[in-house]
Chains A and B, each alone.
Chain A
Amino acid sequence: MQKRDLISITDFDKEEYLRIMELAKGFEEKPNQDLLKGKVVATLFYEPSTRTRLSFETAINRLGGKIIGFSDSSSSSVTKGETLHDTIRMVSNYADLIVMRHPLEGSARYASEVSKVPVINAGDGANQHPTQTLLDMYSIIKTQGRLDDINIFMVGDLKYGRTVHSLLMALSEFDNPIFNFVAPPELAMPDEYKRFLTSKGIRFFEHREFTSIISEADIIYMTRVQKERFNDPIEYEKVKNVYILRNKMLNNTKPTMKILHPLPRVNEINADVDENPKAYYFTQAENGVYTRQAIISHLMGLI
């Protein structure tokens, strides 16, 4: 059997998205299943990402697997100048699966071509983070009961935000999505994604600010305006406080509407939203464990 990797969200098709959703539901109902017993998983985190690493390591532990790896590159042989190629060659002799996060874009695709064992991309720079997208989809299907006919508002940094780009690609596989983009011009959705939507005949609307139209939203997907994405700190200061969601803005939204955020947030969701039942971001993070259990089991053919 040819090994399967998950590097980009487009490595999976609609059937596989739905399969992951189904499997994740099973793991949510019964989290502890010894499918990885006797297997070793390497978690190679070349840059720190506490949430993603803990979520993966929880998923692996709940599946009964053993973990090797490092949580930032200063404790690995990278500091001695070892290339990614050599590290992956070596680790793929030790482990049955590699989960990797790396600051360079394209590093995960490259690692998957060097490795003998499956590679899961846990984020390669600003490029892809497909397990985040699958957990976002799981959160949508769990709260809305469907992935078709979703009206989603994407808010904040739509230019550099890889999570919104991947979610856009994935939801475009389903019927009749409507995308509403809320962002300053400096952080607007890139043309290539808008062209992609147009080519598929998918409706999208661009807004400079929150409007009363959020009453139509099924999902509001908030993102952090990341300081490190700006070359000019003055540009960051100008936009950082523009797109803040406050509890009083949610009065006329649908009762079933949910607010998602890939976390960590800074101030873009006011703390007064947290107690609103429409706030879903902490449960969303929890869903990450079940989704990652599903992805691992699926790729390794364990289930």
Chain B
Amino acid sequence: MDKALQVSAIKDGTVIDHIPADRLFDVINILGLYNSNDMITFGTNLDSKHLGKKGIIKVANRFFQGQEIDKIALIAPHAKLNIIKNYEVIEKRVVEIPDEIISIVKCFNPKCITNNEPVKTRFLVVNQDPIELKCHFCEKITHEKEVVIT
């Protein structure tokens, strides 16, 4: 059984595991979890074989989809989602960065049209690990450490 689930089980919801320890609060932010009324537990600086130190978030009654998962993938590309129904892990999902990212990331180039006029951002993912996003408009690359989710 998953070690993390032994700490405090949730009945229904999602466990986001394998978040880099220093991005834990970013994941909480981009998912808007600070506004949630559901039970949330999180931990950070837990030992991880892959990441050294990792963070984990458990959210009751939430099942993330579409753009929410894309956002997680951009901040925590190695994250795993465990979907819990009735205390059982019914599905394990690896997050995947899509080939194209529309409107959720800010272009890091201050002179880009998307930062100056109301234009939806659009990026081609030119590298997955580390993440490199090429702006469809200004053609500049936004690197993983510069990724800001809007």
* B141: nearest chain-A partner, CB-CB: A192
Within residues 105 to 119 of chain B, which ones have a CB less than 8 A from any CB in chain A?
107, 109, 111-114, 116-119
> B residues within 8 A CB of A127?
138-140
Give the complex CA separation of A7 and B140 in angstroms.
15
Whether A105 pairs with B118 at a CB distance below 8 angstroms is no
Within residues 93 to 138 of chain A, which ones have a CB less than 8 A from any CB in chain B?
103-107, 109-110, 124-128
Whether A105 pairs with B109 at a CB distance below 8 angstroms is yes
* A192: nearest chain-B partner, CB-CB: B141
Residues on A lying within 8 angstroms of B by beta carbon are 8, 83-85, 103-107, 109-110, 124-128, 192
* B140: nearest chain-A partner, CB-CB: A105
Whether A85 pairs with B138 at a CB distance below 8 angstroms is no
Residues on B lying within 8 angstroms of A by beta carbon are 107, 109, 111-114, 116-119, 135-141
Q: Given A84-B113, A85-B117, A126-B111: A105 and B141 within 8 A (CB)?
A: no
Name the contact of B114 in the complex, choosing from A85, A106, A124, A192 (C-beta under 8 A).
Answer: A106
Q: Which 4 A-B pairs have the closest CB atoms?
A: A106-B137, A106-B138, A105-B138, A106-B113
- Of the A-B pairs whose beta carbons lie under 8 Å apart in the complex, a sample of 20, sorted by A's number, is A8-B139, A84-B113, A85-B117, A85-B118, A85-B119, A103-B111, A104-B111, A104-B112, A104-B116, A105-B111, A106-B138, A107-B113, A107-B137, A109-B113, A109-B136, A110-B137, A124-B113, A124-B138, A127-B138, A127-B140
Whether B137 pairs with A105 at a CB distance below 8 angstroms is yes
Give the complex CA separation of A109 and B107 in angstroms.
15
Closest beta carbon of chain B to A116's beta carbon, Å: 18
> A residues within 8 A CB of B119?
85, 110
Majority DSSP secondary structure for residues of B touching A = loop
Closest beta carbon of chain B to A192's beta carbon, Å: 7
* B134: nearest chain-A partner, CB-CB: A192
Whether B117 pairs with A105 at a CB distance below 8 angstroms is no
Give the complex CA separation of A105 and B138 in angstroms.
5
Give the complex CA separation of A105 and B113 in angstroms.
6
Q: Given A105-B112, A107-B113: A83 and B137 within 8 A (CB)?
A: no
Closest beta carbon of chain A to B106's beta carbon, Å: 13
Closest beta carbon of chain A to B44's beta carbon, Å: 33
Whether A109 pairs with B111 at a CB distance below 8 angstroms is no
> A residues within 8 A CB of B109?
105
Give the complex CA separation of A8 and B22 in angstroms.
38
> B residues within 8 A CB of A103?
111
Closest beta carbon of chain B to A171's beta carbon, Å: 18
Closest beta carbon of chain B to A41's beta carbon, Å: 22
Closest beta carbon of chain A to B35's beta carbon, Å: 32
Give the complex CA separation of A98 and B138 in angstroms.
19
> B residues within 8 A CB of A125?
111, 138
* A106: nearest chain-B partner, CB-CB: B137
Give the complex CA separation of A84 and B118 in angstroms.
10
Give the complex CA separation of A183 and B142 in angstroms.
25
